[in-house]
Amino acid sequence: MDRNSETGERIRRRVKKGYERLAYGGIADAVRLLFTDEPDLAALDKMDLFNIAEIKRPRGGGMEIKFFDRIKALESLEGMSETNSDSMPLYRALQECARSLKEKGNGN
């Protein structure tokens, strides 16, 4: 496997892991944050807030927490599972073309 393919595969695994965290991750720390009047920074550092898209503190008090869409994350995971590592046909074709040209260039 060449270096670009390895890098692409690492990125693909990382993206998949992120979507899995969005789709299946817990929200307990977010709920805990919602009911905390003044969280300290040490407590915030220990919380898993990955699923949170937005936090608002309205002037009237309280807190609003908006989560990332789990359904969209699941749809993205489904799309990734339908395709395998050879899912980029244009990239693969360009890669093969470059190899072919390189081999022909070395043969002359």
Per-residue model confidence as pLDDT tens digits over 59-97? 988 899 999 999 999 999 998 887 655 555 666 677 777
CA pair distance 93, 68, nearest whole angstrom: 35
pLDDT tier at 26, thresholds 50, 70, 90: very high
Helices (H), 35-69: 41-46
Q: Containing domain of residue 49, as a range?
A: 3-107
The pTM assigned to this predicted structure is 0.66
Q: How many domains does the chain have?
A: 1
In sequence order, what are the beta bridge partners of 52? 67
Q: In one letter, which amino acid is 54? A: E
Q: Give Cα 58 to chain centroid, integer Å.
A: 29
Q: In one letter, which amino acid is 24? A: Y
Q: Between 107 and 13, name the one with better pLDDT.
A: 13
Q: How far apart are the first and last CA of the chain?
A: 26
